[in-house]
Structure 1
């Protein structure tokens, strides 16, 4: 009961101080408000940006290893860029040999894609489309959400048949009021029959992938349009790892051994290929945003420091103004801890008030419509902002609270 009374009285004194010196209190809390706004807004933007980047990179796939010529990350000890240019590209022959011998993969596919294509249907054309060629297990590597129609059957892929799965934008452009299934689309002079339409996904962040403008055909049919090489296509072999393969270590070792054997590399020869994973991108994104988060703490820290001094100033003035009341409370039996916690609670309340306004400003920021990405204020960032405010309030009020608790009751009553 005593603690409840202590909290109520502390809030009452804090509210009285706020009302009696409104301008002074607002100016003093402004530092905390700006500091919390700076920190939480940076964290909110970082979280939103990281979430959107990860969603944009989701097309890479989970538990997938990509066989390519160069790694996605370049760190200390890496090779010069011209060394990667000399590496051989993955080929369909290598894919078939790996497909026959791999044991640790749920699925394996070879695929390639090129942008800037023009699709035609009768007198209509659709430019800047992405044309992808892939083998049957491609839907295990990446999610291919079919809204209308179906995915490839093995016979279509093995026979390099001219069938195509198109994105929603292409379907809307060519077939706005009709069923696209069974219709013939011309790509690079070749006729392809539409067998499926993918669900609308929308353009991902930074334009990393847009399946709405994509057409997927069997890899053999794709090879008839584009030949291998610098002026043609570059292929990628992708392997889907099993659930029980933690960290994809077993799949990576098996893939490395198989590919070295296929390419005839000697034991002392270095790998002339790179095994990339989606986790590499995630690690790079995390490290980048960690640095930005530190910058947010530094920027907001100075404002919070100023706000802390402002709250300490309010509390020193409050102790001075209420010295007589403190003396009366002590003469009536109030313990030192009661006076101490009374001022501490008041300091924390004022700091939380300033921090709350800062979080409110961040929330208002999230209400601004954004075409590029959706900004969301998470519950964890709200808790972080209030926690930092409470700590600042406690640190700012501890010295004035100790001074108030140690006042001599007789001298305090005599003060004016």
Structure 2
């Protein structure tokens, strides 16, 4: 089985947007057993797409095209498909009604140009797009398939997960010679080299499978790839490798696959019916933003205070003026008082705080750029820890927010704080 992704758009080629669609589709196809052999980005040029379609029909079983399905003159995908397959456009009344309903539900008069989105190639099968005005299109060529879907990320994701992956599995179920599966373990609090050292000789326990280390500013993802004669065979291989990995670095693993740290923490707080508050200075609301991005966070997140000014720290968090004058805003003492202050004011079970020098300026010899104090407070204990992250502002904010949440996770699960 050979698969190919074609991403269309001048905006991708010139770097105005990042091609996250191809990354998402590639991961989902791989997880479903359709590893991608080629990904190509092309501009809004008919002839280039015609050349790629010719390549697809000659060399690939599956081709997924994203982008270029809108109603404007620069949306070339649909007319180019019509030309390539010597086809014609016809109105799909169900799609037309859907497009009209989307505009009417938003109290917007539908522009005439959007009527064109109900025009579909007669040789294609419509893939229903409940979230937008452009339907997906499928050309079934017996042993091969070409699918075009919108480039709008949330529309694309829904179509891939709920329409296209099931469709591909059904069509190609008899062509599987091998099954490829992967699972990702998410870690934070330790770097790639340290994790590798803790795991020891990886080759001794992965066999013919693969283990990839994928580092980022906030942690390292460990992706296990396994090949099997069946789904259960591949799953057994992954499970055996995962068991060994967890036995060596369990404390650093906070989730798997699509988890994120704020979701994992939310799950714990919700299950235990506990509450959280946050006091932020150098992270500027980043922690609160991550927490409230989780659906249902209102059940456990009471609120946060984002404050830079020392005067406002005194007013809003009850920080002692003497603490600030003696130790400074970036200090263990201030981080502790921030955590205690917000917890007492908001009457929560737990609180975390951040105060530091995000950079690139403001550092001194004693308190350099990248120094961050993170405070924690509960009914049982209160403390603060210091970290020196680096000199790049946004990375410092990302790392500080991740470390604060990881301290909270470890305290919730009674895991030793080792960083």
Q: Same fold per TM (> 0.5)?
A: no
Compare the two structures and name the one with the higher helix fraction.
1
Q: TM-score, normalised by structure 1?
A: 0.19
The structure whose Rg is larger is 1
Q: TM-score, normalised by structure 2?
A: 0.18
Q: Which has the higher contact order (CA 8 A, sep 6+)?
A: 1
